Amino acid sequence: MNLRRTLATARRVLGQLRHDPRTIAMLLVVPCVLLTLLKYMFDGQPGAFDRIGPALLGIFPLLVMFLVTSVAMLRERTTGTLERLLTMPLGRLDLLLGYGLAFGAVALVQAALASALALGPLGVDVAGPTWLIFAVAVGDGLLGMALGLLVSAFAATEFQAVQFLPAVLLPQLLLCGLFAPRDSMATALRWASDVLPLSYAVDAMNRLTGTPGVGSAVLVDLAVIAGATLLALGLGAATLRRRTA
């Protein structure tokens, strides 16, 4: 692990994004547009958006970061730049943390915009502290990034990488408690939802909606998200082999 190389990598990834303003716009604007859409979709049921809004603040960063990272990393693998980097004195962690820093910064801005919109103009009422909502949203963004890095190892083409979104994230989305309370699911599915990280993101947001202050349960949720992120990053690092067949 080398700070100079990690920062150079983060700067390079952000540089690539800078040349792609359309992607930046989509990253930042799409979650806000979807939140607004949902707000007025539930126009006739005032309680519904208050329940779903915060959960979505946790889900959007994860979805978007997953997609962006898996495609970016896949490109790195297929264009040969990854092989070039691995012949250079760049540690695998330098590369992964560089991506983490760059996309983490993007996740930060995205979460800030989406939270400001939801808690401000869209009038979502949460009892917990705003900074914690923000922290969970950023944590989810980083989790999405780590999962994206990991699955990119199993995709040979960009078509496959995009298919991992429904394959890896959709089951989590269905089981995370957004559509049906987790307690009401069939036992096997509840167990499954217990081990899927997105469940903790939604749990954390739900807790923050209902209870004021910094509850220990929320901190446990955050720790689970952080743990899952580190696990995915570790597994992702293991897929970056200097020697390949």
Is position 30 an interface residue for another protein (rule: CB under 8 A)? Answer: no
* Residue with the two structure tokens 């909606």: 209
Instruction: Find the shortest distance in angstroms from Cβ 83 to another protein.
Output: 6
Task: Return the H-helix or E-strand segment holding 23.
Answer: helix 21-41
Q: What angle do CA 150, 153, 159 make, to 5 degrees?
A: 105
DSSP-assigned letters across all residues of 111-177: HHHHHHHHHTTT----SS-HHHHHHHHHHHHHHHHHHHHHHHTT-SSHHHHHHHIIIIIHHHHHHSS
Stretch of 76-84, 101-109, 153-161, 207-215 lying at the interface with another protein (CB under 8 A): 76-84
Q: What is the largest CA-CA distance in the chain?
A: 59
CA 17 to chain centre: 17
Q: Does 22 bind another protein (CB under 8 A)?
A: no
Report the residue number, 9 or 206, with the smaller CB distance to another protein: 9
For another protein, the binding residue among 44, 125, 186, 243 (CB under 8 A) is: 243
Question: Which stretch in 11-19, 30-38, 186-194, 221-229 sits in contact with another protein by CB under 8 A?
Answer: 11-19
The answer to the question of residue 216 lying near another protein (CB under 8 A) is no
Q: Which of 105, 102, 148 is closest to 8 using CA atoms? A: 102
Note whether 157 binds another protein by CB under 8 A: no
Does 156 interact with another protein (rule: CB under 8 A)? no
Contact status: 21 vs another protein (CB under 8 A): no
- Residue from 44, 46, 89, 120 touching another protein (CB under 8 A): that is 89
Binding stretches for another protein (CB under 8 A): 4-5, 8-9, 11-12, 15-16, 19-20, 79-81, 83-90, 242-245
